[in-house]
Amino acid sequence: MKISERVTRALDLFWKLLTGVVMTAFALMLIIMAVQVISRYALGIAVSWTDEASRYLFLAEIFLGSVLALRYQEHIRITIVTDILSPSVRNIIASVADVICVLVLLMLVAGAWNMMDRTAGIMASTFQMSFSYIYLIQMISALLMIALLLGELYQRLMGLPQPTIEDGRSD
């Protein structure tokens, strides 16, 4: 097996694993919120950890889900202006947009690193988990998005064919 085939298989496995993590976080959040509602309103018992756990799962789902949305080109886009431009101008604008996004994501990485340092010793109020893990997920998500954007930018600048939404999916 060629190295390129191994890399492709590893990347496919990574994207499937990430999708599984996001879907699991969503399912767990739904279950925990159902436990919270049932215990509070049906049983009259407040389960203290459910609010915090569902919040953390929601944050993980949002940040990691954003990576998947970028991978599959499913972020909301308004293309009324770019649709009327020539392909060369459209490529220039898309490249500038990618650079701006990378710069913003680099600021997000720096902020997450700073907050990880500040919250390393602070534990969640209802279970023993450091707040820094929330910012670690944020930083990992931003780094993955940077890698995706730089890959797209490289392909665009080298004149390589851009992947379509169907190319990225292995459903």
pLDDT digits (tens, 9 = 90+) for 108-126: 999 999 999 999 888 888 8
Q: Which two tokens stand for residue 38?
A: 């049932």
Least confident of 6-10, 75-79, 105-109, 128-132: 75-79
DSSP secondary structure letter of residue 84:
G
pLDDT higher than 60, residue 166: no
* Distance from the Cα of residue 146 to its chain's centroid: 11
- Nearby residues of 58 by Cβ (< 8 Å), 6 or more positions away: 25, 29
Tokens 């997920």: give the residue: 137
Confidence of residue 45 (pLDDT cuts 50, 70, 90): confident
At residue 124, the pLDDT reads: 83
At residue 110, the pLDDT reads: 97
Q: Are 141 and 60 in contact (CB under 8 A)?
A: no
Question: Sign of the C-alpha dihedral, residues 138, 103, 166, 3?
Answer: negative
Q: Are 131 and 58 in contact (CB under 8 A)?
A: no
Integer Cα distance of 134 and 111 in angstroms: 12
At residue 171, the pLDDT reads: 44
